[in-house]
Structure 1
Amino acid sequence: MMLIRPIKRQDKQALLQLAAKTGTGFTSLPQNERHLTARIERILATWEGEAALSDQGYLFVLEDSATQKVVGISAIEVSIGLNDPCYDFHVGTQVHASKELGIYRQMKKLSLSNDHTGHSELCTLFLDPEYRKNKNGQLLSKSRLLFIAGFKDKFSDRIISELRGVHDQQGESPFWESLGRHFFAIDFTEADYLTGIGKKSFIAELMPKHAFYVDFLTEAAQNVIAEVLPSTLPAREILESEGMRYEGYVDIFDAGPMLEAYTKDLRIVKKSRLRQVKVGATELLGEQALLISNDQYQDFRAILGSPLIDRSNIYLTQEQAQVLSVLDGEKLRIVPLFEKENNL
């Protein structure tokens, strides 16, 4: 059975192995042991109630309960941009018009922005390629939203997710080559890595402070604005199915899209419900796939399953109850895995 649980210190080596597989553009999981150690400690301090708001975050791992192998990671940052500025580009419109000459033109422009300061962020979603099957990606991504549904008071009323933009197999980004290189004079992979390990001051120091026209970029760069890698498309589709939308903001390095929503409007936050546990059920299945979690803050657990449910109860096998760390009579939070099955 595949299980979502909070990060532990002993997971560090497994995460370093996952980081080695992420490839270019995965800023939030650099292959850097010191940075990863510091992040794990910051996350544990959050769960223990010892982290300041600006440092709070949550890391979850996907574990094969049969082998105890960690095969995926996902995260939530509680309030971004409070310690280090959070930068993105806003894709806006500039109008040029002359009645005398009969000219009217709308031109896209990019403006440096800190508009998402203080928002919560879904980030660091990565699943080992060997485990990209059996709805594991759905569990890894959506379980974060079930955690938010259970503990809404710990998060901002707005939530975002920045997705990887387009780059080639050599790690080169058309957007970076057309824009960023002129200001930074370093490779995209190096800028991406420096950002990932927290060295972000160079962005403020070197990025252009004034808006500039998209038409000045190469055609290749223009074509990748707000686009994602094919491997990132499933992650985008999952978030969009839960109510997140592109609202005109992109990453300053590769122009990957930023999706956003009001936290209360996310499907899982709106539609999840509590049910009382009845342990000892047989393998009889219900009619729909469910995302299931306990309602324990420090010992959060989530799985996928299709147990029988009614208006008050959820009927679990002994194995499911053990993996979720719940006893007969306790409460579980459930929601249909897919919107089309939203019938509780």
Structure 2
Amino acid sequence: MIIVRPIKKSDLKALYRIAEDSGHGFTSLPVNEKLLQQRIKHAEESFAKDVKEAGNEGYLFVMEDTETGEVVGTSGIEAAVGLDDAFYHYHLGKVVHSSRELNIYNTVEILSLCNDYTGASEICTLFLSDSHRKNNNGRFLSRFRFLFIAEHKERFSDTIIAEMRGISDENGNSPFWQWLEEHFFSMDFPTADYLTGIGKKVFIAELMPKYPIYVSLLSKEAQAVIDKVHPQTVPALRLLEAEGFARRGYVDIFDGGPTVESHVNNIRTVNHSKRCQVIIDEVQSTDNYIICNSKVADFRALQTRLSLRETAKQVVISQAVADALMVSEGDWVRLVAN
């Protein structure tokens, strides 16, 4: 059985392997054992914390194959970004240069450095091993987070964002960053990406141009990748767009990839999810759902067949599923059609 649960200290080795496999551009998982230990510790503290409103909590989950005990993926939610460290974006806007006398009217795109998403919740750190990219596991690993958010809304902001990985090659070279590097940073993209991942972001404020950048002044290669996603990230973007996420003109300061956002109440999975009481019995239905318990530190989620008694707000699940979810008859669960 494939389940999702909160990360724990013993998952360090698996998380380190995932960090190595994830490659360049995956800022939230640096290949650094000490920092990954800190990330796990912070997650454990966040799950154990009694929360009334979104703060600096970071919830990191893992996907586990219970037959082998192997951790095959990870997925996370940051409750409120930018409260401890500045959270930077470029906003893609326009300025108009016009002259009535000369009958000239030009619209020019500009990139302005901003912290507009400070305090927003961020879904992040999504990675699934090649061996388990099947049976809708990727969709499950993304969508279960919205069930967790729906069940524990007090822990999150009304605005939910996701940063999409931008264009870079197999060596980690980003056309967008190469222009910034040449003119401002003298530091390659993997190094800048790594420093951000380990929390050393002060160099951004110190070296990043303070004034808006005219897009037309960037190299043609840099212009071409602004607001574009890495080919491997296209499925993740499409899934989020289907959930109701949209672009608002914000792009990553390193690779130019888009950030998408949605109000929590406009997210499809949040809206369509239902809370039901558990009945344990044989399941006759073939309908497939994502289902989770209502816990935090002992959170569990999985995909399964179940029978929904919508009018009575009841759901019939098997004993094996109940055991995996750590629920008993009469407990409340949250679910959504897969």
CA distance in 1, matches of 2:242, 2:305: 20
Q: Deviations over 1:16-39 (max 9, x none)?
A: 011110111000011111111111
Q: Deviations over 1:283-321 (max 9, x none)?
A: x333x3211111112211111122121112211111111
> Which residue is 1:59 aligned to?
60
Report sequence identity in percent: 47
Amino acid at match of 1:306: R
Change (3 A) 1:335 1:313: same
CA distance in 1, matches of 2:30, 2:42: 16
State the Cα distance separating 1:221 from its structure 2 match: 1.1
> In 1, Cα distance between the equivalents of 2:330 and 2:146?
24
Q: Which residue of 2 aligns with 1:182?
A: 183
Q: 4+ residue stretches of structure 1 with deviation over 4 A?
A: 50-54
Residue pair 2:167, 2:175 contacting (<8 A) in 1 also: yes
Instruction: Tell me if the contact between 1:43 and 1:59 (Cα under 8 Å) persists in the aligned partners.
Output: yes
Matches of 1:293 and 1:55, distance apart in 2: 24
Using structure 1 for the length normalisation, give the TM-score: 0.95
TM-score w.r.t. length of structure 2: 0.96
Q: Does structure 2 conserve the Cα–Cα contact (< 8 Å) formed by 1:166 and 1:224? A: yes
Unaligned stretches of 5+ residues in structure 1: 338-344
In structure 1, how many angstroms separate the alpha carbons of the residues matched to 2:50 and 2:28? 22
User: 1:54–1:83: 8 Å Cα contact kept in structure 2?
Assistant: no
Q: Distance in 2 between matches of 1:53 and 1:32?
A: 27
Alpha-carbon distance change, 75 to 29 in structure 1, aligned in 2, over 3 angstroms: same
Cα offset for 1:54?
4.6
Q: Is the 8 A contact 1:290 1:335 kept in 2?
A: yes
Q: How many residues align?
A: 335
Distance 2:184 2:45 in 1: 37
Report if aligned partners of 1:88, 1:112 keep a CA contact under 8 Å in 2: yes
How many Å apart are 1:67 and its aligned residue? Answer: 1.1
Residue identity matched to 2:16: L
Report how far residue 53 of structure 1 moved: 5.8
Partner of 1:298: 297
* Alpha-carbon distance in structure 2 between the residues aligned to 1:22 and 1:78: 23
Give the distance between the partners of 2:98 and 2:134, measured in 1 at CA.
53
Aligned mates of 2:184, 2:37 — CA distance in 1: 32
**SS of match in other structure, 2:38:** helix
Corresponding position of 1:329: 330
The offset of 1:50, in angstroms, is: 7.2
Match of residue 246 from structure 1? 247
**Contact map agreement 1:160 1:261 (CA 8 A) in 2:** yes
Runs of 5+ consecutive residues of structure 2 not aligned to the other structure: none
For residue 169 of structure 1, report the CA deviation from its aligned partner: 1.4
Match of 2:221 in 1: 220
Indicate conservation of the 8 Å contact 1:42/1:55, yes or no: no
State the match for 1:28 in structure 2.
Answer: 28
Number of the residue aligned with 1:11: 11
**Cα distance in structure 2, aligned partners of 1:180 and 1:156:** 34
Question: Is the partner of 1:156 in helix, strand or coil?
Answer: coil
Between 1:110-119 and 1:310-319, the stretch displaced more is 310-319
- CA RMSD of superposed structures (Å): 1.4
**Which whole-Å CA distance do the structure 1 matches of 2:305 and 2:114 have between them?**
44
Counterpart of 1:148 in structure 2: which amino acid?
I
Deviation for aligned residue 1:189: 0.5
Counterparts of 2:262 and 2:154, CA distance in 1: 16
8 A Cα contact 1:90 1:250, kept in partner: yes
Match of residue 116 from structure 1:
117
Aligned partners of 2:330 and 2:281: how far apart in 1? Answer: 12
